Chain A
Amino acid sequence: MVVTAPAQSGPEDLEMMWRIRAFEEKASELFARGKISGLLHLAIGQEATAVGVCGALQPTDRVFSGHRPHGHAIAKGAEPGRLFAELAGRRTGYCGGKGGSMHLAAPEVGFVTATGIVAGNLPLALGAALSSKCRGESDVAAAFFGDGAAQTGLFHECLNLASLWQLPVVLVCENNGFAEFSPLSAHTVVERLADHADTYGIPTETIDGNDLTVVRPAAAAAIDRARNGGGPSFLECLTHRLRGHYEGDPTLKRGAAARDEAKDPIQRFTRFLHDAARSAELEGIEVRVRAEVDQAAEEALAAPWPERDDLLTNVVAQP
């Protein structure tokens, strides 16, 4: 039986958004304190796309993310503690500390992998979708990428292939208007990135990516289409990154001024639930989730470093 993706969202989604927000704010704090190193790209303000899409996927559906992957991993079911440990380079991290923030992987929950190469995850998602289609399986693949990816050659090759072969894949473009440090207008004259998908004959929608009540049903429709043999979809989620390109970004083109409550997906969904007379169910969510996340971070930082021998393991299969 083919499952139908849930189009509704509720308090559990608010909780998930808070989990992601709390995780990333904690990660930012730990980075500032020198407890984690590397390149840390946060997606604070973009939680609704992660939760809207991943919450409509099945556990065996496969997600492929990019260099800003924390929210997607958590929304797909990865444990914050093992993610913190990975960011901190500890042995208990999902990747034993070898991956780091941009190369997270939790395949056991269907968060297959992330990549630090912009658009590099698109063909991986297509490959998973091709595998699923050729085997007659019902699993769907989803790829998350930013507006910057749309200017790569790989993006266009992948849109063409996804359409040509009618692959069960959902292409989620998180258009936050900034590619690395520059506004999108400095990179392309194409204003609506969904137009690219139109060119390749892929059903597309440009939606308010900061409104969970919009993202969820749009994602559910795209996922159902993929699962039922309807081929790929392209979701352009207009969103708003509340932080710089990476933590420590010297340009910080956004900042406190951009902390616009009207755009904050968490505030908006909270209001929605209040209006739906579900206030009682929301009590204590933020406090509880922040406490869980703080505890997870603390445990991760107390975890051991990798062993010296780990340096050279898993380069190739062990004989």
Chain B
Amino acid sequence: MTKTIRYIDAISSVLRQELERDDDVFILGEDVSYGGPFGATAGLSASFGPTRVIDTPISEGAVMGLAVGAALSGRRPIVEVMFADFVTLAMDQLVNHAAKIRYMTDGQLSVPMTIRVQGGVGGGFGAQHSQSLEAWFLHVPGLKVVAPSSVKDAAGLLVAAIRDDDPVVYLEHRGLYWTKGLGASDETPTPIGTAAVVRSGSDVTVVAVSRMVGVAVSAAEKLAEDDIDVEVLDLRSVAPIDWATVDESVRRTRRLVVVHEAVVTGGLGAELVAGVHATAFEALISPAVRVGAPWAPVPASPFLECLYAPDTDDVIAAVLKTLHER
């Protein structure tokens, strides 16, 4: 049975489902028993109690490490990081411990944990509460990184993350929390490492991630009015990247645009463009174009924030550039 639910409800519903399914699953984070700032964990404490839904002090480094230690002991912790920006306080435990322990111990140990990270622009939260940091995680061997854009994948990727035997960074976009879509009563995993074709097209491939998938789709709809046929891929998984799907699409359309909300410099787009150049350079008939934020922190002013994040017009301009520049 399916019904229309919000992205944040999909997250709550999967958390509940997985807490019920597996006694080793537990949640750890600031104010999680109250539901956190956006309500993702609301009601779970009443159902599962304080040993499964654990409120922590504002000690991001220790909490991340605690989750690693619990994962090493056979548990499946889900850590909630209230804002992506706060991951910086826990990077040692994430990068030096969670990501590397399987390799450093040659598989004697594994770290099955999920790191739920809320981020992205919107609401004028400013430079320390709005970042998209997926490229940092992509750069670390041992981490898997997913960024759902739809309600269905918000559920499916969270199920997959919790059941995965490696640390998975699950990136939630605040701007998507209240978007709606079809949810299922029994959530099934979306395989990590698979992209989705959300709109088929033949002229240009637009690879987008997280909130930018919706932006790319609306750009594609506008361009369709001018008979420009855009294919939109939802990357879904930032690490590992589904190169096969990207490659197949680009070979067909012969043009590539990548769109993310993060800063362009050193970003996921650079990785995608370089990867396509390595395997399908001969198929491209125009230079690939990256769309993302400029090299500046996220401004607080709503006026500036709107300018900062890529929008439909930016994607349209990028698509037109690939069509007119050869």
Is this pair of chains taken from one and the same complex? yes
Q: Give chain A's interface residues, CB within 8 Å of chain B.
A: 62, 64, 94-99, 103, 105-108, 112-113, 115-117, 120, 122-132, 134, 141, 153-154, 157-158, 160-161, 164, 310, 313-317
- Total interface residues on B, CB under 8 Å, equals 43
Contact yes or no, A117 B97, CB < 8 A:
yes
Given A315-B103, A317-B110; 18 other pairs, CB 8 A cutoff: A64-B69, A94-B108, A97-B106, A116-B96, A120-B92, A122-B62, A123-B66, A124-B69, A126-B62, A127-B71, A128-B70, A128-B73, A157-B61, A158-B62, A313-B106, A316-B102, A316-B144, A317-B164
In the bound assembly, the distance between CA atoms of A127 and B56 in angstroms comes to: 13
Contact yes or no, B66 A130, CB < 8 A:
yes
B311 at the interface (CB under 8 A from A): no
In the bound assembly, the distance between CA atoms of A112 and B26 in angstroms comes to: 21
In the bound assembly, the distance between CA atoms of A123 and B71 in angstroms comes to: 12
| Cβ contacts A to B, 24 pairs, < 8 Å | A94-B106, A95-B105, A97-B106, A98-B103, A103-B104, A113-B104, A122-B65, A127-B73, A127-B77, A130-B69, A130-B70, A131-B70, A131-B73, A154-B92, A157-B59, A157-B62, A158-B65, A164-B57, A310-B106, A314-B103, A314-B105, A315-B102, A315-B103, A317-B166
In the bound assembly, the distance between CA atoms of A310 and B67 in angstroms comes to: 28
Contact yes or no, A113 B75, CB < 8 A:
no
Instruction: Return the CB mask of B48-76 against A: 1 if under 8 Å, else 0.
Output: 00011010110101111111111111110
Contact yes or no, B65 A120, CB < 8 A:
yes
Contact of A95 among B70, B75, B106, B141 (CB under 8 A): B106
B109 at the interface (CB under 8 A from A): yes
Contact of A128 among B69, B96, B166 (CB under 8 A): B69
Residues of B near A108 (CB, < 8 A) are 108
Determine how close the nearest CB of chain A comes to the CB of B62; give it in whole angstroms: 4
Contact yes or no, B72 A124, CB < 8 A:
yes
The number of residue pairs between A and B whose CB atoms lie closer than 8 Å in the complex comes to 142
Contact of B61 among A95, A129, A154, A317 (CB under 8 A): A154
B101 at the interface (CB under 8 A from A): yes
Contact of B26 among A134, A160, A314 (CB under 8 A): A134
B93 at the interface (CB under 8 A from A): yes
Q: Which 10 A-B pairs have the closest CB atoms?
A: A127-B69, A123-B65, A157-B62, A96-B106, A124-B69, A157-B59, A314-B107, A131-B73, A105-B105, A127-B70
B214 at the interface (CB under 8 A from A): no
* Chain B residue at minimal CB-CB distance from A99: B104
In the bound assembly, the distance between CA atoms of A96 and B109 in angstroms comes to: 13
Residues of A near B183 (CB, < 8 A) are none
Determine how close the nearest CB of chain B comes to the CB of A187; give it in whole angstroms: 19
Determine how close the nearest CB of chain B comes to the CB of A148; give it in whole angstroms: 15
In the bound assembly, the distance between CA atoms of A97 and B166 in angstroms comes to: 21
Contact yes or no, A127 B109, CB < 8 A:
no
Chain B 211-238 residues near chain A, CB threshold 8 A: none
In the bound assembly, the distance between CA atoms of A36 and B62 in angstroms comes to: 34
Instruction: Return the CB mask of B24-39 against A: 1 if under 8 Å, else 0.
Output: 0010000000000000
Contact yes or no, A131 B106, CB < 8 A:
no
Contact of B93 among A123, A141, A314 (CB under 8 A): A123
In the bound assembly, the distance between CA atoms of A107 and B110 in angstroms comes to: 11
Determine how close the nearest CB of chain B comes to the CB of A181; give it in whole angstroms: 22
The residue among A124, A127, A315 with the most chain B CB atoms within 10 A of its own CB is: A127
B165 at the interface (CB under 8 A from A): yes
B142 at the interface (CB under 8 A from A): yes
In the bound assembly, the distance between CA atoms of A315 and B52 in angstroms comes to: 29
In the bound assembly, the distance between CA atoms of A96 and B142 in angstroms comes to: 17
In the bound assembly, the distance between CA atoms of A109 and B118 in angstroms comes to: 39
Instruction: Using known A-B contacts A113-B101, A117-B92, A134-B26, determine if residue A98 contacts B68 with beta carbons closer than 8 Å.
Output: no
Contact yes or no, A315 B141, CB < 8 A:
yes
Contact yes or no, B106 A314, CB < 8 A:
yes
Chain B 95-153 residues near chain A, CB threshold 8 A: 96-97, 101-110, 141-142, 144
In the bound assembly, the distance between CA atoms of A128 and B73 in angstroms comes to: 6
Residues of A near B107 (CB, < 8 A) are 313-314
* Chain B residue at minimal CB-CB distance from A123: B65
Contact yes or no, A317 B102, CB < 8 A:
yes
Determine how close the nearest CB of chain B comes to the CB of A267; give it in whole angstroms: 35
In the bound assembly, the distance between CA atoms of A125 and B93 in angstroms comes to: 13
Contact yes or no, A131 B105, CB < 8 A:
no
Determine how close the nearest CB of chain B comes to the CB of A104; give it in whole angstroms: 9
In the bound assembly, the distance between CA atoms of A105 and B108 in angstroms comes to: 8
Contact of B104 among A105, A107, A122, A125 (CB under 8 A): A105
The residue among B68, B141, B142, B164 with the most chain A CB atoms within 10 A of its own CB is: B68
Determine how close the nearest CB of chain A comes to the CB of B208; give it in whole angstroms: 25
The residue among A115, A124, A141, A164 with the most chain B CB atoms within 10 A of its own CB is: A124
The residue among B61, B72, B106 with the most chain A CB atoms within 10 A of its own CB is: B106
Residues of A near B102 (CB, < 8 A) are 314-317
